[in-house]
């Protein structure tokens, strides 16, 4: 899907989920608190009954993730910048008291 008209900058947030997760993992190696925040957020976003369907991994549901990216960036195929991901997991920890 192309960028949302109300969010013309959404097209600049393109990339690879593997690259984003790799960069986040590198940051997590340097900061154990960030590692816990990333793991907690990943667990919270896991697909329901993930153990019952292939690939049998606690990964986010693609439809839900596409909706989250659309509401945040205006395009379902967006991959957020690393700094946005890190800001989100810190916000989650601060607001939820985790």
Gap between the Cα atoms of 34 and 25, Å rounded: 9
Gap between the Cα atoms of 98 and 96, Å rounded: 6
pLDDT score of 9 more than 60: no
What are the CA-CA distances from residue 90 to residues 22, 42, 57 (Å)? 18, 13, 24
| pLDDT tens digits, 15-46 | 799 999 999 999 999 999 999 999 999 999 99
pTM of the model: 0.79
Mean pLDDT score, 52-56: 91
């Amino acid at each position: 899907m192309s960028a949302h008209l109300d969010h013309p900058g959404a097209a600049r947030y393109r990339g690879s989920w593997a690259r984003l997760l790799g960069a986040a993992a590198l940051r997590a190696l340097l900061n154990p608190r960030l590692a816990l925040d990333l793991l907690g957020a990943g667990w919270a976003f896991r697909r329901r009954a993930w153990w019952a369907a292939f690939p049998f991994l606690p990964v986010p549901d693609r439809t839900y993730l596409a909706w989250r990216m659309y509401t945040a960036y205006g395009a379902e195929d967006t991959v957020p910048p690393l700094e946005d991901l890190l800001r989100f997991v810190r916000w989650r920890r601060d607001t939820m008291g985790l």
